[in-house]
Amino acid sequence: MNYKLGEFVRFVNERREGFITRIIDESTIAVTDDDGFEIPVLASQVTRVHGKSDFTAIQVNKESTLKQPDQFISNGIFIGITDDKRLGSVVHFNLINTSSYQILFTFNTEKNQEFNGECSGQLNPEAMVQLYSASLNELDLWPKFHLQVLLYAPGKHEIKKPILFSDKFKAKDFSGTKKHDAILGKEAWMIQIDSEVPLIDPQKLKESFFRPSSEKIEIPNPGKEVDLHIEKIRDDYQFLKNSEILDIQLNHFKKNLDAAIVHKLQSIIFIHGSGNGILRNELHKIISKHPQVKTFMDARKEKFGYGATEIVLK
């Protein structure tokens, strides 16, 4: 079997296609389809779809060549995690080199104390390589990642110690905001694996102890409308459980309601969607007992239907 993680394949005997997200054994792979389901299948029962994938399992920016830049960049090696726009349940792990070093790397996964060599290679400055693809539906089953990196540059330069990055990814690792990466050409969760331990600035530490307690805290004006849909609040919503999503939405609601009261707004609209009505009911429970709420109602049914609530403040 010569299939690799991240390749796009089509089933031979049925109308189904998707990404390879797991190598089960020598003859069996797992393919995640358009509906986000991971399906075990014999490798002999699928075929490659050429020109369909954004990446192959090992794809380096071939336009990048090893060259001496005007200014030597000693740090800048990242793992960039991107979601797949066609298959929302699939993410790709990429090794990105923005430093001036040429790097050699090995990538292994560990599961049940057993190690599996996934890939290895060489990466030039300003280049990337895809290491792994996985289904978010299998988050709890993801293996532990072990990435080893050696750094080399011609001429005079600082000798860098080898990098050993080991991690078992969890949902909380994706709680930060995605950033646009020029080499990937898209937004990604970026994890720098060669960052140095930051030094403590004694002056800033001293200032933090002696900062006046009465220092004014700026509370931004929430505006006339606040959208509580989870994708508007968090970039990592795909990794969150339903209970976590509800808690985040309620906290965002309370924060913006308090801000509206501070700024003495006459009214504010919260867009919660119709859905199953759970979020709407929770909001109505809170505002029905709130001492600063004069009344509330469904907001502009011609625009929102029953998907928004307008709160009139005292």
**Same domain for 87 and 229?**
no
In a domain, residue 218? The reply is no
Of 144, 177, 195, the position where a domain reaches its end is 195
Distance CA 187, CA 177 (A): 9
Tell me how crowded residue 60 is: count the other CB atoms within 10 A of its CB. Answer: 17
Distance CA 227, CA 189 (A): 23
Place of tokens 């995690």: 81
Strand, helix or coil at 229?
coil
**Same domain for 191 and 229?**
no
- The token pair that represents 87 in the structure block: 């298959």
Distance CA 31, CA 34 (A): 10
Per-residue pLDDT at 57: 38
Distance CA 272, CA 304 (A): 9
List the CATH number of the domain containing 132: 2.60.40.1600
**Same domain for 184 and 236?**
no
Strand, helix or coil at 32?
strand
Distance CA 53, CA 19 (A): 8
Per-residue pLDDT at 98: 93
- Considering its fold, how many domains does the chain have in total? 2
- Tell me the residue range of the domain where 166 lies: 1-64+74-195
In a domain, residue 69? The reply is no
Per-residue pLDDT at 142: 87
Q: Consecutive sets of 10 residues in the chain, 314 residues long: mean pLDDT of each?
A: 76 84 80 75 84 44 48 89 75 91 93 88 91 80 92 85 89 74 88 69 56 65 92 85 90 93 92 88 91 89 84 92
Maximum Cα interatomic distance, the chain, rounded to a whole number of Å: 73
**Same domain for 254 and 145?**
no
In a domain, residue 78? The reply is yes
In a domain, residue 13? The reply is yes
List the CATH number of the domain containing 257: 3.30.1370.110
Q: Answer yes or no: pTM beyond 0.85.
A: no
**Same domain for 87 and 233?**
no
